């Protein structure tokens, strides 16, 4: 049974034949819900104002619709005054002009639609009981409005669409450096989903703009997307990423060694470039990532008979034979991560939950409801790794062995 506190987060709609297009558009409702995750009353101090990047338009650093990009910033205090956590918002990608046109009429493509205040929770919380290692640090939430993980940079103007994610990234970094990031002592760049992918893409460049004596590390939450075939043997996600990379001019932002070896769109998959990242990286990923299961392994188009209809929406409704196939997906993830597991500076928290982003919600980051491996929450594991208290290579046993998981259930609305 899914945790009822988490079920309330997501007023999910019925899935339709347009699933893949909606996946391209992103889990808009889901990521908006992450801003208001608690059932408790939100205190005024929990809400953080939106700041639009100054002079962004002069730099061509604009959202899909041409509006200025934005971020939310809260100052650190006490011993955390010179330390920073940056978190990159997630929300899928757009791979066609049509899907990008839809996206630009939402907060994932235009600052005109962004909430003027969002709640900081999870890794962004200022409450020491919810965020024991990073509560007093400077906090930044980067809003995502380009549709290509802050990596696009096309000069083409497609039907009044601007593909300028790389420029947005650079403009936001320039502004943050000017307000104190340039004096940082300890820094953690994080992001979830498409933002987790952006974290991996930009991790080393981010390290390069900061003081040489600063401790800089990167945390990707549900950003390790696999280049896997679906249940019918088609590589839909590879084709989808190819469209994103070519439409938005992403190639120049990708790992140069990888692009020199293979088709640039394949270098949008972290498995192809993670070994080249020099900055220490921590991966938080559910082995049964519901986004990847629903859109990589079992997209609606791959299940015309509907035999996967319930399973893809709730792991608790899968047959034993279907569970075996999901275990196969988990095995692919662990095999792909086997080399990274030997990285002495890297960290991992791979749990066996039917979940997606887990660092931005207090309920999954650090609370009585949080998933645990070896009795450690994600927050405790990340803290142990960041501060070098111990090596952290947490890999869960297969589903359904972990009773601390809050497995999402998207069938309850029916």
What is the mean pLDDT of the segment spanning 167-194?
Answer: 98
pLDDT interval class at 275 (50, 70, 90): very high
Residue 400, domain member (yes or no): no
Q: In the chain, count of helices (H) and strands (E)?
A: 13, 10
Asked if 75 is an active-site residue, the reply is no
* Selected residue with higher pLDDT from 311 and 14: 311
Q: Which of 289, 355, 396, 409 is catalytic?
A: 289
What was the pLDDT predicted at 132? 97
- Tell me the whole-structure pTM to 2 decimals: 0.92
Q: Which of 193, 265, 302, 355 is catalytic?
A: 193
For residues 352 and 401, is the Cβ–Cβ distance under 8 A? yes
Residue 384, domain member (yes or no): yes
pLDDT interval class at 38 (50, 70, 90): very low
Asked if 72 is an active-site residue, the reply is no
What was the pLDDT predicted at 4? 39
Residue 410, domain member (yes or no): no
pLDDT interval class at 40 (50, 70, 90): very low
The rounded mean pLDDT for the chain is: 90
CB crowding 327-351: b at 16 or more within 10 Å, else e: eebbebbeebbeebeebeebbbbbb
Give the lowest-confidence range in 14-18, 106-110, 219-223, 324-328.
14-18
Residue 402, domain member (yes or no): no
What is the mean pLDDT of the segment spanning 114-125?
Answer: 97
What is the mean pLDDT of the segment spanning 123-138?
Answer: 97
For residues 192 and 359, is the Cβ–Cβ distance under 8 A? yes
Residue 90, domain member (yes or no): yes
What was the pLDDT predicted at 1? 38
Residue 217, domain member (yes or no): yes
Report helix, strand or coil for 37: coil
pLDDT interval class at 413 (50, 70, 90): low
What is the mean pLDDT of the segment spanning 26-50?
Answer: 53
Whether the per-residue pLDDT at 7 is higher than 90: the answer is no
Whether the per-residue pLDDT at 28 is higher than 50: the answer is no
What is the mean pLDDT of the segment spanning 347-355?
Answer: 98
pLDDT interval class at 25 (50, 70, 90): very low
**Residue 160 — left, alpha, or beta (φ > 0 → left; ψ -120 to 50 → alpha)?**
left
What was the pLDDT predicted at 330? 98
For residues 296 and 228, is the Cβ–Cβ distance under 8 A? yes
Q: Say how many domains are in the chain.
A: 1
What is the mean pLDDT of the segment spanning 99-125?
Answer: 97
What was the pLDDT predicted at 160? 87
Domain span at residue 265?
4-395
What was the pLDDT predicted at 3? 46
Residue 148, domain member (yes or no): yes
| Alpha carbons 400 and 378: distance in angstroms, whole number | 19
Whether the per-residue pLDDT at 220 is higher than 60: the answer is yes
What is the mean pLDDT of the segment spanning 66-73?
Answer: 98
What was the pLDDT predicted at 157? 67
| 108 backbone dihedrals φ, ψ, rounded to 5° | -85, 5
Token pair, residue 86, equals 């940056």
What is the mean pLDDT of the segment spanning 33-42?
Answer: 41
| Alpha carbons 344 and 324: distance in angstroms, whole number | 32
What was the pLDDT predicted at 13? 32
| Alpha carbons 201 and 60: distance in angstroms, whole number | 21
Q: Which of 352, 356, 366, 396 is catalytic?
A: 356
Contacts of 40 (CB under 8 A, 6+ apart): none
Nearest CA-CA partner of 285 in 330, 327, 324: 330
CATH number, domain with residue 292 = 3.40.50
pLDDT interval class at 137 (50, 70, 90): very high
Order of strands across the sheet that contains 281-286 = 117-119, 47-52, 70-74, 138-142, 83-88, 186-192, 215-221, 281-286, 347-351, 393-395
Nearest CA-CA partner of 55 in 168, 203, 211: 168
What is the mean pLDDT of the segment spanning 353-367?
Answer: 97
Residue 401, domain member (yes or no): no
| Alpha carbons 250 and 410: distance in angstroms, whole number | 33
Whether the per-residue pLDDT at 17 is higher than 80: the answer is no
């Amino acid at each position: 049974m899914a945790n009822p506190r988490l079920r309330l987060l997501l007023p999910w709609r019925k899935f339709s034949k347009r699933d893949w297009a909606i996946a391209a558009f992103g889990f808009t409702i889901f990521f908006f819900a992450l801003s208001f995750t608690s059932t408790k009353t939100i205190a005024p101090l929990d809400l953080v104002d939106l700041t639009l990047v100054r002079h962004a338009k002069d730099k061509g650093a604009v959202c899909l619709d041409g509006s200025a990009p934005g971020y939310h910033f809260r100052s650190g205090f006490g011993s955390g005054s010179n330390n920073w956590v940056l978190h990159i918002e997630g929300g899928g990608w757009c791979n066609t002009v049509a899907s990008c046109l839809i996206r630009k009429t939402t907060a994932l493509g235009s600052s005109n639609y962004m909430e003027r205040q969002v709640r900081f929770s999870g890794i962004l919380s200022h409450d020491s009981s919810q965020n024991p290692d990073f509560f007093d640090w400077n906090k930044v939430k980067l809003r995502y409005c380009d549709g290509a993980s802050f990596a696009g940079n096309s000069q083409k103007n497609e039907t009044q669409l601007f593909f300028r994610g790389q420029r947005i990234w650079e403009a936001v970094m320039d502004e943050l450096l000017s307000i104190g990031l340039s004096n940082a002592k300890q820094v953690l760049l994080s992001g979830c989903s498409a933002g987790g992918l952006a974290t991996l893409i930009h991790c080393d460049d981010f390290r390069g703009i900061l003081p040489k004596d600063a401790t800089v590390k990167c945390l990707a939450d549900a950003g390790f997307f696999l280049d896997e075939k679906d249940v019918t043997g088609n590589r839909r996600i590879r084709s989808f990423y190819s469209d994103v990379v070519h439409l938005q001019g992403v190639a120049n932002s990708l790992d140069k060694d990888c692009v020199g070896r293979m088709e640039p769109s394949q270098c949008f998959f972290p498995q192809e470039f993670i070994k080249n990242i020099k900055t220490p990286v921590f991966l938080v990923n559910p082995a049964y990532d519901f986004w990847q299961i629903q859109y990589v392994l079992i997209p609606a188009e791959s299940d015309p008979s509907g035999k996967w209809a319930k399973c893809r929406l709730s792991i608790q409704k899968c047959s034993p034979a279907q569970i075996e196939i999901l275990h196969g997906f988990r095995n692919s993830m662990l095999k792909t991560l086997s080399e990274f597991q030997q990285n002495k500076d890297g960290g991992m928290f791979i749990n066996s939950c039917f979940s997606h982003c887990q660092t931005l919600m207090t309920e999954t980051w650090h609370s009585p409801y949080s998933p645990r491996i070896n009795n450690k929450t994600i927050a405790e594991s990340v803290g142990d790794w960041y501060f070098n208290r111990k090596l952290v290579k947490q890999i869960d046993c297969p589903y359904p062995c972990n009773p601390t998981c809050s497995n999402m259930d998207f069938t309850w609305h029916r």
